[in-house]
Amino acid sequence: MKRLFSIFMLITLFVLPIGKVNAYDLAGLSKWAENDFARAVSLGFVPSELLGNWQGNIIRGEYARLALCFLAVQYGYTAVNSIQTNYVFKGRGASDPESTIKYFEWKAVEKFIADYCETKPDREGNPILFKNLNPNYNQDKPLFFSWWWDVISHVYKPFSDVDYKDDGPYINAAYLFGLVNGVGEGLYNPSAPITRQEAAVLLMRVYSNYGGVVPDKELKKFSDSDLIAGWAASAVQEVTAIGVMQGKDNETFDPLGYYTREQAIVTFMRLYENAPVSRKKANIPPLVDYQSQINNCLNNGFTVLEQYKTPSCTVLYGDNDPDPGVFDYCLYLIYHNGGFRDVTYFLRQNGAFINAEPIYDIQISKDGSRLSFKVYVTEDYNYFCYLGDLYNSNKVYENGGYCFLLDIETGKYLQIEKIS
């Protein structure tokens, strides 16, 4: 039976917030950018490595990663885990916090990558076939969605100067999807700063990917238009027409000027807020429609234990492992207008749910905007779980019972309380 409770009671239940919006370092962030920036992080498309050095030039690898994460959010998928995980193995040394965070951010986009590859064309307009990316694939075996990310990370290599570390998998995927180009001779040059005209082109490629349209209006003329490269001219005009980039001092565009992290994040946020086509306006065609997404879960060995309906999505809780005696408890949000979030992935990956305790006491707020659940986090692999969201990564949570509260729209965790 679906259990409902008031927002007031839900808020009073959770007394220990896991973070606040300004817990990361805002030093150097321009005042005009603060509101857009906070919203961008809340939506979940800003990678953790871009949280800082706001006036520093964003490089090509970082920009490809940001673009791919933004595209995932626009299609309704998780791009950046709202809870990052690092674990310390007692008696076995400690894992590297930076590499662990990056690992879990990579894993967050797996389902988006799989659904995109199975439904959208590649950069040449051809179907994306797994056997073409991995010629050694045995087609008699079932194709798990995580394999798409693995093959793009480790097998598909369009550039000789890009590997699977850092931004590499995002660059490969962005190239496969037609969002970015190389610099010639099989190179991407991931550490080079991106220019303003390059940023304009990538913004418009992302926008076009999900059917973005540009309103018919008088195009803005810049005094330095003769400096804009021919391959970027139309993108510069279009990106200003939809209110995403504005130029410098409203007279010049400065096409060869470098682009800062602050500018990159804010302009993607404007693409979400201002453009005629956006997830915000609920007019982006889904990669996989709602019913097909439900069927995909059921046809891949998922056993539904509980199901809840909200105004925006269906919540499915169940066991994703078909093997008897082996449990992989999952909590999925499947959105009516397209999109999919696995909101307990971070706990399963660090072992908390493996052959352990099921999720219980799942509750939905009356307005359908909040979801809470409880679970006992175990120490099956002899470690403590180090949990913190993008705004606060300083609190250590040991094994025990916890109550989690999350926002259904974004899949973002809002509060965690230790209850036993």
Residues 246 and 386 in one domain: no
Residue 344's contacts (CB-CB under 8 Å, 6 or more residues apart) are: 329, 330, 331, 353, 359
Span 74-113, pLDDT tens digits: 999 987 765 543 333 232 233 444 444 455 566 678 889 9
The pLDDT value given to residue 379? 52
Say which range, 29-33, 183-187, 378-382, has the weakest mean pLDDT: 378-382
CA–CA separation, 388 vs 413, rounded Å? 10
Which one has a higher pLDDT value, 216 or 91?
216
Residues 14-40 have pLDDT tens digits of 333 333 333 456 778 999 999 998 889
Residue 172 lies in a domain: yes
Start-to-end C-alpha separation, the chain: 25
pLDDT of residue 25: 64
Q: Is residue 23 part of a domain?
A: no
Beta strands in 28-170 (DSSP E): 83-89, 93-94
The mean pLDDT of 41-63, rounded to a whole number, is 90
Bridge partners of 392, per DSSP, are: 389
**Residue 334 structure tokens:** 């499947």
Same domain, 125 and 263: yes
Task: Give yes or no: residues 242 and 315 share one domain.
Answer: no
Query: Is 224 a domain residue?
Result: yes
In a domain, 26, yes or no: no
Domain of 363, in residue numbers: 4-18+286-418
pTM: 0.83
Q: Which of 235, 258, 281 marks a domain boundary?
A: 281
Specify whether 203 is located in the same domain as 167: yes
* The CA-based dihedral angle spanning residues 39, 41, 44, 46, taken in that order and rounded to the nearest 10 degrees: 130
Q: Is there a single domain that holds both residue 243 and residue 353? A: no
Check whether residue 122 and residue 259 sit in a common domain. Answer: yes
Check whether residue 255 and residue 316 sit in a common domain: no
Residue from 286, 287, 295, 294 nearest 315 by CA: 294
129 in any annotated domain: yes
Q: Is residue 393 part of a domain?
A: yes
pLDDT at 342: 86
Cα 356 from Cα 329, distance rounded (Å): 9
Surface-to-core class of residue 326, CB atoms within 10 Å of its CB (0-12 exposed, 13-18 middle, 19+ buried): exposed
Task: Kindly state whether residues 211 and 330 are assigned to the same domain.
Answer: no
Lowest mean pLDDT among 54-58, 256-260, 285-289, 301-305: 301-305
Query: Between 412 and 284, whose confidence is greater?
Result: 284
Total Cβ atoms within 10 A of residue 257: 17
Average pLDDT over residues 197-220: 91
As a whole number of angstroms, the distance between CA 405 and CA 420 comes to 16
Q: Which SS3 state, helix, strand or coil, does residue 189 take?
A: coil
In this structure, the answer to whether residues 312 and 182 fall within a common structural domain is no
Q: Rounded to an integer, what distance in angstroms lies between the CA atom of residue 70 and that of residue 50?
A: 13
User: Which of 225, 257, 281 is a domain's end point?
Assistant: 281
Please give the tally of structural domains in the chain. Answer: 2
Indicate if 268 and 361 belong to the same structural domain: no
Q: What is the mean pLDDT of residues 193-217?
A: 94
Q: Which residues contact 214 (CB under 8 A, 6 or more apart)?
A: 238, 241, 242, 276
What are the CA-CA distances from residue 5 to residues 11, 137, 370, 377, 411 (Å)?
10, 49, 10, 25, 19
Q: Is 25 within a domain?
A: no
Show which of 232, 250, 281 is a domain's final residue.
Answer: 281
Select the highest-mean-pLDDT range: 139-153, 240-254, 358-372, 375-389.
Answer: 358-372
In tens, the pLDDT along 246-278 reads: 888 778 999 999 999 999 999 999 999 999 999
* 24 within some domain: no
Per-residue model confidence (pLDDT) at position 141 = 63
User: Do residue 348 and residue 370 come from a single domain?
Assistant: yes
